[in-house]
Amino acid sequence: MNLLLRGGRVIDPAHELDAALDVRVDAGRVAEVGRGLAPGRGVREVDVRDKLVVPGLVDLHVHFREPGQEYKEDIATGSAAAAAGGFTTVCCMPNTVPPNDCRTVTDLIVRRSREVGLCRVRPVGAISVGLEGKALAEYGEMKEAGVVALSDDGRPVMNAGLMRRALEYARTFDLPVVQHAEDLALAEGGVMNEGEVATRLGLRGQPPQAESVMVARDLELCEWTGARYHVAHASTARTIELVRQARRRGLPVSCEVTPHHLHLTHDAVAGPPGYDTRAKVNPPLRAAADVEALREGLADGVIDCIATDHAPHSTVEKEVEFDHAAFGMIGLETALPLVLELVRARVIDLVRAVALLTSQPARVFRLDAGGAGSLAAGAPADLAVIDLDLAWTAEESGLRSRSRNTPFLGRALRGAALLTLLGGRVAFDRAGLVGEP
């Protein structure tokens, strides 16, 4: 479908663009971004005045559970949730069953995501065979098959010797190593943040240092090996400080934060309702001072991007005693309004918010080379039209994800994707903006 999006506020951080412009989509690609573009024959014109037009959002961290746990989510439902959230590229973590630690699993994910065709699902390969932290996986064959990064996410790489080898090996393939930073000896099986709230609830806590100790160790290894190192779901003030210092030393380090760590503290576990397993995530929701430090890191630029850590779980895993509940919450469909809330609270401006969800994550995993995260002429037309003011409430029945595990259900939200285009095709159209071709 050839489209002309007329008169939206186009924000394309990669090209330092923020202006009322038209966007012409031709044969699945961005043909032109400019003022007063001619409609041309057979072009469907869509009035998007008062709307935002941005590159399709990019999420470096999702769990789509296929293969093996499709009852929680699969590539089709996960892609639909992504498209509804305005995302056109997501990177899926390898903790599937079996894990994505070899070419066959990577091939399957790439093929399924193309068949579904609602979102570009870029796989992250395992650092270690079986995510067991013992032997390195085959990075070369996984890279050939399409992985864009390496991680044992869900688990840390505890063994420093293995982490050194992983960084060295990854460097030869120019792949970033993504750490789930959690020193298991310090975390000691904690189910929430260590502190006053955990004590009051009688729950075992994991201290913030379980994260920062591992980040500190890894930064030493990063400096030693020169490999690209990315901190997944950074959640503590100290982690942000360590990354800030490492940046100053010129290390190739990057980090992401999640919308939930930017909005919620460990008080969310206490409720109401009490012992809310929907607020059980790993790393855990932290104290107010940590949330403040993450927000400062967003504003001053030390944090590269916002990633959801979309982690679907069924009621069987979530509606149980707090100690036994699985870690994780879904996030693809609520990320955008939660980030826009930070704009209204003047934590960051709108252009930075868009950059944190588009050009910056694309740069961290070098997805920008294929056009992700920008509206470059000639690139695949992956873009989102956003209504900044649309007021809505996340409800179970409205979610595209197969799972419902989010504490943001019932929260009054503002802002949503109206239209998501993937390669110029409609992946999501909230209110029939484009309608039938």
Query: Rounded to an integer, what distance in angstroms lies between the CA atom of residue 11 and that of residue 236?
Result: 30
Q: Which of the following is catalytic: 153, 304, 309, 368?
A: 309
Residue 55's closest CA among 33, 79, 74? 33
Query: Rounded to an integer, what distance in angstroms lies between the CA atom of residue 206 and that of residue 187?
Result: 4
Q: Should residue 133 be labelled a site residue for ligand DOR when binding is judged by CB under 6 A?
A: no
Instruction: Rank residues 86 and 283 by Cβ distance to ligand DOR and give the closer one.
Output: 283
Q: Which stretch binds ligand DOR (CB under 6 A): 7-15, 195-203, 320-328, 406-414?
A: 320-328
Q: Under rule CB under 6 A, how many of the chain's residues touch ligand DOR?
A: 11
Beta carbons within 10 angstroms of residue 2's beta carbon:
19
Instruction: Rank residues 89 and 282 by Cβ distance to ligand DOR and give the closer one.
Output: 282
CB of 156 to ligand DOR, least distance (A): 9
Query: Rounded to an integer, what distance in angstroms lies between the CA atom of residue 260 and that of residue 265?
Result: 9
For residue 174, what are its two tokens? Answer: 């120019």
Q: Which stretch binds ligand DOR (CB under 6 A): 15-23, 98-106, 237-245, 325-333?
A: 325-333
Site for ligand DOR in 155-194 (CB under 6 A): 180
Q: Should residue 311 be labelled a site residue for ligand DOR when binding is judged by CB under 6 A?
A: yes
CB of 289 to ligand DOR, least distance (A): 21
Q: Which stretch binds ligand DOR (CB under 6 A): 33-41, 117-125, 195-203, 322-330?
A: 322-330
Query: Rounded to an integer, what distance in angstroms lies between the CA atom of residue 103 and that of residue 117?
Result: 21
Catalytic residue check, 349: no
Q: Should residue 328 be labelled a site residue for ligand DOR when binding is judged by CB under 6 A?
A: yes
Task: Please pick, from the candidates 6, 24, 51, 63, the single residue that binds ligand DOR as defined by CB under 6 A.
Answer: 63
CB of 90 to ligand DOR, least distance (A): 14
Q: Which stretch binds ligand DOR (CB under 6 A): 103-111, 236-244, 290-298, 324-332?
A: 324-332
Task: Please pick, from the candidates 85, 154, 371, 424, the single residue that binds ligand DOR as defined by CB under 6 A.
Answer: 154
For residue 216, what are its two tokens? Answer: 């500190």
Token pair 């809505």 in the structure block, residue: 392
Q: Do residues 93 and 120 make contact, with C-beta atoms less than 8 angstroms apart?
A: no
Q: Should residue 255 be labelled a site residue for ligand DOR when binding is judged by CB under 6 A?
A: no
Residue nearest to ligand DOR (CB): 328
Instruction: Rank residues 207 and 328 by Cβ distance to ligand DOR and give the closer one.
Output: 328
Instruction: Rank residues 327 and 392 by Cβ distance to ligand DOR and give the closer one.
Output: 327
Instruction: Rank residues 96 and 420 by Cβ distance to ligand DOR and give the closer one.
Output: 96
Q: Should residue 327 be labelled a site residue for ligand DOR when binding is judged by CB under 6 A?
A: yes
Q: Should residue 153 be labelled a site residue for ligand DOR when binding is judged by CB under 6 A?
A: yes
Q: Which stretch binds ligand DOR (CB under 6 A): 104-112, 257-265, 323-331, 397-405?
A: 323-331
For residue 22, what are its two tokens? Answer: 């038209």
Task: Please pick, from the candidates 282, 334, 360, 420, the single residue that binds ligand DOR as defined by CB under 6 A.
Answer: 282
Q: Do residues 139 and 150 make contact, with C-beta atoms less than 8 angstroms apart?
A: yes
Q: Should residue 368 be labelled a site residue for ligand DOR when binding is judged by CB under 6 A?
A: no
Task: Please pick, from the candidates 2, 88, 95, 401, the single residue that binds ligand DOR as defined by CB under 6 A.
Answer: 95
Q: Which residues are catalytic?
A: 309
Q: Could you list the residues that contact ligand DOR (CB under 6 A)?
A: 63, 95, 153-154, 180, 281-282, 311, 326-328
